Amino acid sequence: MSVPKPPSHESKIKGKEAEAFIHALRTHQVDAIVGDRHIMVVRLKQAEENLKNSRDQVRALATRLQSIRENERVVIARDIHDELGQKLASLELGLSWLAQVTPKQQPLQEKIGSLSALVTTLIQSVQRISDELRPGVLEELGLVKTLKSEAREFKEHTGIPCTFETNMGKAKFDRLGSVAIFRIAQGALTNIARHANASRAMIALMKRNNDLILTVNDNGKGIAKKRVLSANSLGIIGMRERALALDGTLTLRGSTGKGTTLTVRIPLSRVLH
């Protein structure tokens, strides 16, 4: 019995037949592809389910990691505030007492004065570090006002004017969502201050259809594509993990002369109460 020759596939698939094949493949209605030499069993549905499961696992892991990281920050912030803050306050009081009991000793007064100034700076530093680790203002004022305040502080610290826009003034964000968005914006501003060489920056928090869109933009030198994708860009990886944990996406686009734009898109249902 003679075996028929395998079909020459390239010349066979045309027109409606090709459309039917594409439809069958797209709708996962194909079990096997009959090749010239082999018959390949394809389990598209199963492969897609496996991929979805893997993505869900990665997302769950990212969420868990973010939660652990936030909790650690809270503990560290509390320790710094309680331990260092209180001891520095005691030191300040002690110096003040020394100044009172030695009013006529000029060299000592001068030394006490400079030490007091140093302690005041240290207290402010401890407060700032503690706030950065655990933004108390976020819990007090909510996300929108915190981002507004962050834009203002960014200008004060860096001298780079930073505007803030939103159409979500009355939105009620849940804790996880607001911390994630705040941290992403904070990370983006840090990158602008460190790397962008920009003369202006902008934060926008907008509701568009069923998504929340966070945009952080600058007019600096623009991030290089290889840096966006680099395994060493830990800040970007961390921001992307935060977005991913909320079923969101993060994109970074940079071009020379036009600056860098970070865009985060998160379903509103994942961040609102």
DSSP three-state, residue 212: strand
101 binds other proteins (CB under 8 A): no
61 binds other proteins (CB under 8 A): no
Q: Quick one: which of 14, 15, 33, 246 contacts other proteins (CB under 8 A)? A: 33
**Helix H or strand E segment including 170:** none
CB of 60 to other proteins, least distance (A): 27
155: burial class by Cβ within 10 Å (0-12, 13-18, 19+)? middle
Give the three-class secondary structure for 15.
Answer: helix
- Residue 38 has phi, psi (to 5 degrees) of -135, 155
Give, in order, the Cα–Cα distances in Å from 25 to each of 42, 43, 117.
10, 11, 73
Q: Which stretch binds other proteins (CB under 8 A): 18-26, 58-66, 159-167, 219-227?
A: 18-26
Which two tokens mark 4?
């028929």
How many residues in the shown chain lie near other proteins by CB under 8 A? 27
34: contact with other proteins by CB under 8 A = yes
Query: Is 52 among the residues that bind other proteins (CB under 8 A)?
Result: no
Query: Pick from 6, 113, 161, 169: which binds other proteins (CB under 8 A)?
Result: 6
Contact between 31 and other proteins by CB under 8 A: the answer reads yes
Least distance in angstroms from the C-beta of 51 to other proteins: 17
The residue among 56, 119, 58 whose CA lies nearest residue 89 is 119
In whole angstroms, the minimum distance from the beta carbon of 36 to other proteins comes to 9
Question: From the CB of residue 198, how many other CB atoms can be counted at a distance below 10 Å?
Answer: 20
Residue 221 touches other proteins, criterion: CB under 8 A:
no
Residue span binding other proteins (CB under 8 A) among the ranges 10-18, 55-63, 152-160, 264-272: 10-18
Cα separation, 66 vs 158, in Å, equals: 28
Contacting residue, 12, 14, 170, 226, with other proteins by CB under 8 A: 12
CB within 8 Å of 16: residues ≥ 6 apart: none
Q: Is 7 in the site for other proteins (CB under 8 A)?
A: yes
For residues 260 and 222, the answer to whether their CB atoms sit within 8 Å is yes
Collapsing DSSP states into helix, strand and coil, what is residue 31?
coil
3 belongs to the binding site for other proteins (CB under 8 A): yes
Instruction: Give the helix/strand (H/E) hosting 260.
Output: strand 259-267
Find the shortest distance in angstroms from Cβ 24 to other proteins: 4
CB closer to other proteins, 19 vs 83: 19
Residues that bind other proteins (CB under 8 A): 1, 3-7, 9, 12-13, 17, 20-21, 23-25, 27-34, 39, 41, 43, 45
